[in-house]
Chains A and B, each alone.
Chain A
Amino acid sequence: QSTIKWRMQTYAGPALAAHVIDPAIAMFNKIAGDRMQIELFYADQLVPTGELFRAMQKGTIDAVQSDDDSMASPTDVTVFGGYFPFASRYSLDVPVLFNQYGLNEIWDEEYSAVGIKHVSAGSWDPCHFATKDPINSLADLKGKRVFTFPTAGRFLSQFGVVPVTLPWEDIEVAVQTGELDGVAWSGITEDYTVGWADVTDYFLTNNISGAWAGSFFTNLDRWNELPEDLQTLFRVCCDQSHYYRQWWYWGGEASLRVNGDKMKLTTIPDEEWAQVEEAAVKFWDEIAAESPTKAKVVEIFRKYNSDMQKAGRPYRYG
């Protein structure tokens, strides 16, 4: 019996992948041994990120690690992948939303319809600004050319931010060559890990989302061809990757804010930041009006956040 071989491409470049995906794939390959091997490729390595979804749907690539938004999935839930503004505050919110509030079922239905297996969603890091100039008020955001997620960019453009999309691996250089003024893509852990902290000077402690949602996907036919135990192993390794992120980001964010020496912290006062939170409420309504599925997901976010509010501390303070 010959070895099953998969090609998998991640959204991350090698530096970040060393944390968020390499260990999980190494683990999978070690356990599966001669039965199956996954070859991992990094950001834009085989196909550009914009073509990633189609390549997986077609079977050119067997599996993908990405958020729905960056790889432009042709589904109704795409806007909720990556950073949907203010949908989640803590990293544990995401798995709860998927496992206990019904997002798994919606995602499964949406992706099965387009020939893709949605394996599992995990919670990744919060969305902060890292910029060359300090951001102390909303006015400072005006005219800043910032690398960010499509949906986050759409939301932020009302504050004068100019969202720019470039290949992930080119961001550090683009900040240096003047194409970008900063990034709104990650927490401080990622800024330090991938080198963005070397080219920006300021970190804004306010975030527009406490945790982004990213997933593992595979081509549906390839998935169905796998024996059940290898399917299970794949799931376990994906979950291991999600778990790694949980502690790596949670601890890393705090530690680098306190001990990091490459970026100065700035904060927009709560009263002013409230404008952004209010804008998000309106943005949710706009998105909900676009389709019944989107309305359903937004309703789940509302329900979840109101439950958390009612539960009180430590779920929500004030």
Chain B
Amino acid sequence: MTAFMTGYVHVIDAVNYRIGRVMMWGLFVMMGILLWSSISKTFFLPSLWTLEMAQFAMVTYYIMGGPYSLQMGSNVRMDLFYHTWNDRKKAWFDAFTIFFLLIYLGVLIWGGVGSTAYSLGYWGDAPFSYFWGLITGAEEIGRLERSSTAWRPYAWPIKSIMVLGFFLMLLQAISELFKDIARIRGNEIGVTRT
């Protein structure tokens, strides 16, 4: 079990770390889109796509960057009591309360998978089995959802990115749980990254 947990933490942390290090440059993608928006507006015809593209970039930036921020411990806590506790006690509390975080992420994924299935034309109540059906060939892609703007981009790419980000966040939260369990047992797992 310990070997599994250690291995899991190493793999997940490494993956999310790399994704986060790529995502951080997304800031300049957003800047570029916004600059192009002002340039095209001033000198040419305003572009149709800049507004939505900037929204997509923003969503990708913070959702895909989320697991990295979780790993770095940059999510604030209400630490009236928390900061007075020692690391072991913190780990004990976190090991329980993280299940609330897992529930939240689970519900985000549940809703996200349903919404993504809808964006591929599935209108039923069993989105998970729909995706399974897509793999086995029992289901097929139907009417693709498009944004109700003049540019009309398809909805599935951004929704898939969001679901993927939430899923990676879930994996990272489990990694944090494993680290807390190890801490309770008196040892540390994970390499220190910055």
Are A150 and B152 neighbours in the complex by a CB distance under 8 Å?
A: yes
Q: Which residue of B lies closest to A71 (CB)?
A: B148
From A57, A143, A157, A165, B148 is in contact (CB under 8 Å) with A165
Give complex CA distance A142, B41 in Å. 12
Q: Which residue of A lies closest to B124 (CB)?
A: A115
- B143-159 CB contacts (< 8 Å) to partner A: 143, 145-150, 152
- B45 close to A (CB within 8 Å): yes
- Chain B residues proximal to chain A, CB less than 8 Å: 41, 45-48, 51, 114-115, 118, 121, 123, 125, 143, 145-150, 152
From A51, A70, A145, A179, B115 is in contact (CB under 8 Å) with A51
Give complex CA distance A177, B149 in Å. 20
Chain B residues with CB below 8 A from A153, complex form: 149-150
Distance from A141 Cβ to chain B, minimum over Cβ atoms (Å)? 12
Residue-wise interface mask of A (151-178) relative to B, using a CB-CB cutoff of 8 A (1 in contact, 0 not): 0011001001011111000000000000
Are A115 and B148 neighbours in the complex by a CB distance under 8 Å?
A: no
Give complex CA distance A154, B150 in Å. 6
Give complex CA distance A163, B52 in Å. 12
Give complex CA distance A179, B47 in Å. 12
Give complex CA distance A222, B51 in Å. 37
- A72 close to B (CB within 8 Å): yes
- A44-58 CB contacts (< 8 Å) to partner B: 50-51, 54, 57-58
When A153-B150, A154-B150 are in contact, do A58 and B114 touch as well, CB less than 8 Å? yes
Are B145 and A145 neighbours in the complex by a CB distance under 8 Å?
A: no
Give complex CA distance A142, B123 in Å. 40
Chain A residues with CB below 8 A from B48, complex form: 157, 162-163
Sampled A-B contacts (30; CB under 8 Å): A50-B148, A51-B115, A54-B118, A57-B123, A58-B125, A69-B148, A70-B148, A72-B145, A72-B146, A74-B121, A74-B123, A114-B123, A115-B123, A143-B45, A145-B41, A145-B46, A150-B148, A150-B150, A150-B152, A153-B149, A153-B150, A154-B150, A162-B46, A163-B48, A164-B149, A164-B150, A165-B147, A165-B149, A165-B150, A179-B51
Q: Which residue of A lies closest to B152 (CB)?
A: A150
Q: Which residue of B lies closest to A145 (CB)?
A: B46
- A63-87 CB contacts (< 8 Å) to partner B: 69-72, 74
Are B149 and A163 neighbours in the complex by a CB distance under 8 Å?
A: yes
The 5 A-B residue pairs whose C-beta atoms are closest, nearest first, are A163-B150, A165-B149, A153-B150, A72-B148, A150-B148
Q: Which residue of B lies closest to A74 (CB)?
A: B143
Distance from B160 Cβ to chain A, minimum over Cβ atoms (Å)? 16
Chain A residues with CB below 8 A from B125, complex form: 58
Chain A residues with a Cβ closer than 8 Å to the other chain, count: 26
Give complex CA distance A154, B41 in Å. 19
When A58-B114, A162-B45 are in contact, do A50 and B123 touch as well, CB less than 8 Å? no
Q: Which residue of A lies closest to B147 (CB)?
A: A50
Give complex CA distance A157, B149 in Å. 12
Are B115 and A54 neighbours in the complex by a CB distance under 8 Å?
A: yes
Give complex CA distance A164, B118 in Å. 24
Give complex CA distance A153, B52 in Å. 15
Are A74 and B145 neighbours in the complex by a CB distance under 8 Å?
A: yes
Chain B residues with CB below 8 A from A115, complex form: 123
Since A58-B114, A71-B148, A114-B123 are in contact, a sample of 5 more A-B pairs with Cβ atoms closer than 8 Å, ordered by chain A residue number, is: A50-B148, A150-B150, A157-B150, A162-B47, A164-B51
Give complex CA distance A150, B47 in Å. 16
Give complex CA distance A154, B146 in Å. 14
Q: Which residue of A lies closest to B48 (CB)?
A: A162
Chain B residues with CB below 8 A from A145, complex form: 41, 46
From B46, B115, B118, B152, A143 is in contact (CB under 8 Å) with B46
Give complex CA distance A52, B150 in Å. 18
Q: Which residue of B lies closest to A54 (CB)?
A: B118
